[in-house]
């Protein structure tokens, strides 16, 4: 089935409103479903922190992909019948007493306007609605978003519902929607690309703010705060992930997020950051000299990373295996490190480069999609080679966001400076 999906996605999406885009996403799924299939997605809920406090709510991105809604406790049900796709959106019922404390709920009219779904009901009637659908013979197969990366992950709302549903209706076949969603979401429409590009532009503004702050004795957390201030002042919803501002010896830690120490004169600071705009993410890495000037050694290693990034970008086009990108990166880095005498052969590279060079980007920073297939037009990927030389306190990563086009690629973040000369000129 999945081999047929991409062929069904070759639709002209230009000029759609966002509401029409969500409808188009639902129709793409409908073209894959069979009569009697139902797909259910949950927006999720914020987990409790402690006492009466909860963590900030982040909507399930698959739910958002089909609805445009970002509220808690919503449910989307889509049934394929002889008439076509019948979508029902279940929302929380407005309650004035609760709204006085936590804010207004989305009304039925507002939910319709946002999602384009005409059948909007209240979520407290969801389970009885499901029971009627099964009883009336409308469901022969149920699709749920049952993504689970690790064995010991907490059950998602979809997993919890799957357990309850299977006990009550063991005769209804159940399948995971995750693999279909991977194929759908990995190809971006023009409208989605507009949101990603705006997120990248906001990230550039944030980086420019950092460069105006960056100097010895400034704290890493001040760079983080500066970035968040600038992107939010210009329209970002939030950071797309927790900002990494790793200076000196901590630049070799891939996911360093403490951001707690002062910057030292002569060190590098590795920044891995991104803005989120209308739920779409940017993911950019840059490495800057704290005092505005690279040492000769820092410059040498930096340019090796930069060359590896360009070698990977030059290889990116439709038909290239995803896994080939990291092989290109590894060869480039190894050849360069051998030439300067840091390593003797390829087998030693993993001491200084120990992650992949690319991942998909979209609604999620590490967007869903198979990494075993070929690159296709419409994919957006990061390219992020790095070198981490612990004994020299040098950690360098350079990351850009790249769109695969019909004949090659476009670097969507090419306007964010990254050459040694550009960086030193900007910091002068």
Q: Tell me which residues are annotated as active site.
A: 52, 255, 272, 283, 355, 359, 366, 384, 388, 397, 399
Tell me how far apart the alpha carbons of residues 105 and 88 are, in angstroms, rounded to a whole number: 18
Contact between 407 and 398 (Cβ < 8 Å):
no
Tell me how far apart the alpha carbons of residues 264 and 153 are, in angstroms, rounded to a whole number: 39
Tell me how far apart the alpha carbons of residues 251 and 290 are, in angstroms, rounded to a whole number: 13
Tell me how far apart the alpha carbons of residues 408 and 376 are, in angstroms, rounded to a whole number: 10
Phi, psi of 261 (to 5 degrees): -115, 160
Beta strand segments in 110-168, E: 119-122, 141-144
**Strands 173-176 and 141-144, how do they pair?**
parallel
Q: Is 52 exposed, middle or buried (0-12, 13-18, 19+ CB in 10 A)?
A: exposed
Beta strand segments in 18-69, E: 37-42, 48-50, 53-54
* Coil/strand/helix, residue 53: strand
* Coil/strand/helix, residue 192: helix
- End-to-end CA distance of the chain: give it in Å, rounded: 56
Beta strand segments in 64-161, E: 75-81, 84-91, 119-122, 141-144
Q: What is the distance of C-alpha 71 from the center of its chain? A: 19
Q: Angle 179-182-184 (CA atoms, 0-180°, nearest 5)?
A: 115
Residue 236 has, within 13 A of its CA and on its CB side, a CA count of 29
Contact between 86 and 30 (Cβ < 8 Å):
no
């Amino acid at each position: 089935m999945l081999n047929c999906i991409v062929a069904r996605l070759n639709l002209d999406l230009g000029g759609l409103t966002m509401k029409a885009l969500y409808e188009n996403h639902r129709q793409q799924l409908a073209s894959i479903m069979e009569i009697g299939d139902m797909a259910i997605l949950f927006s999720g809920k914020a987990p409790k922190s402690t006492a009466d406090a909860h963590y900030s709510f982040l909507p399930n991105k698959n739910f958002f992909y089909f609805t445009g809604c970002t509220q808690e406790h919503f449910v989307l049900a889509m049934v394929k019948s002889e008439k076509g796709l019948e979508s029902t959106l279940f929302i929380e019922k407005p309650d004035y007493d609760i709204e006085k404390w936590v804010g207004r709920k989305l009304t039925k009219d507002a939910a319709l306007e946002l999602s384009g779904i005409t059948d909007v009901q209240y979520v407290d009637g969801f389970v009885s609605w499901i029971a009627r659908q099964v009883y009336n013979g409308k469901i022969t197969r149920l699709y749920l978003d049952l993504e689970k990366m690790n064995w010991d992950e907490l059950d998602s709302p979809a997993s919890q519902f799957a357990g309850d549903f299977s006990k009550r209706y063991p005769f209804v076949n159940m399948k995971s929607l995750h693999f279909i969603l991977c194929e759908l979401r990995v190809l971006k429409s023009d409208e989605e690309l507009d949101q990603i590009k705006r997120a990248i532009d906001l990230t550039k503004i944030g980086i420019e703010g950092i460069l105006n702050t960056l100097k010895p004795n400034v704290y890493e957390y001040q760079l983080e705060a500066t970035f968040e201030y600038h992107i939010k002042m210009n329209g970002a919803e939030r950071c797309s992930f927790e900002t990494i501002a790793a200076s000196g010896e901590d630049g070799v830690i891939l996911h360093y997020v403490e951001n707690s120490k002062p910057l030292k004169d002569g060190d590098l600071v590795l920044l891995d950051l991104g803005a989120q705009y209308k739920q779409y993410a940017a993911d950019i890495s840059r490495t800057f000299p704290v005092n505005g000037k690279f040492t000769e050694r820092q410059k040498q290693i930096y340019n090796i990373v930069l060359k590896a990034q360009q070698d990977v970008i030059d290889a990116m086009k439709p038909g290239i295996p995803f896994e080939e990108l990291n092989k290109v990166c590894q060869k480039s880095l190894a050849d360069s490190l051998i030439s300067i005498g840091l390593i003797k052969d390829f087998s030693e590279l993993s001491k200084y480069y120990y992650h992949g060079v690319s991942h998909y980007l979209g609604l999620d920073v590490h967007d869903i999609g198979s990494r075993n297939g070929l690159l296709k037009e419409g994919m957006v990927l990061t390219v992020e080679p790095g070198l981490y030389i612990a004994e020299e306190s040098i950690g360098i990563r350079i990351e850009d966001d790249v769109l695969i086009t019909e004949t090659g690629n476009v670097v969507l973040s090419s306007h964010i400076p990254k050459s040694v000369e550009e960086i030193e000129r900007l910091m002068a």
